[in-house]
Amino acid sequence: MQKICLVVMLMLAGVRPPYANAQTPTKPLFPGAEHLDSCVVELPLTYAKKDKECYTQAARFLEDVELIYLSYDQKTKAATYTRVYVITETKDGGDLVYIENAKDHLQMDGVKQAFFPKFKASSERFYNADCFDAHVAAHPGLKEVLKEAQP
């Protein structure tokens, strides 16, 4: 009960608990990334046992939403992104969460490839694809930094 009261008081005071925005960036991931901050999707896909409940709930909520999985390489200063969907399945009494390319997801039959990325908040982000596309179109400078990965 005390924990709930503390969280409510912090929220009323405008302070968010640390787990509320696990992926929200504190500083831009790359030059111009601040334009995409409103598109960030909270999906801490770390596959760590302590995060399982959080990423499973987020994945269920985002199951039919096209996402952008962006990775930034600080050495080469390259930001590469892929259009993906997050999938949740229940197997052997447990939940399985993975991502697949948008092209594979829209394909009715055939072989689909599943990805199990270990999310790193320091170099990776998930974005809502519709929001991402709108912001990239509105800020032409982002097109110079962002490169779509070939599936």
- Kindly report, residue by residue over 113-125, the tens digit of the pLDDT: 776 777 888 888 9
Distance CA 54, CA 51 (A): 5
pLDDT at 66 (0 to 100): 93
Please state the domain extents for the chain.
26-148
Joined together, the tokens standing for residue 116 give: 């199990």
Distance CA 46, CA 104 (A): 23
Per residue in 77-101, pLDDT (tens digit) is 889 999 999 888 888 777 888 888 8
Joined together, the tokens standing for residue 98 give: 């993975």
pLDDT at 139 (0 to 100): 92
Indicate whether this model's pTM tops 0.85.
no
Distance CA 146, CA 131 (A): 15
Joined together, the tokens standing for residue 58 give: 């987020």
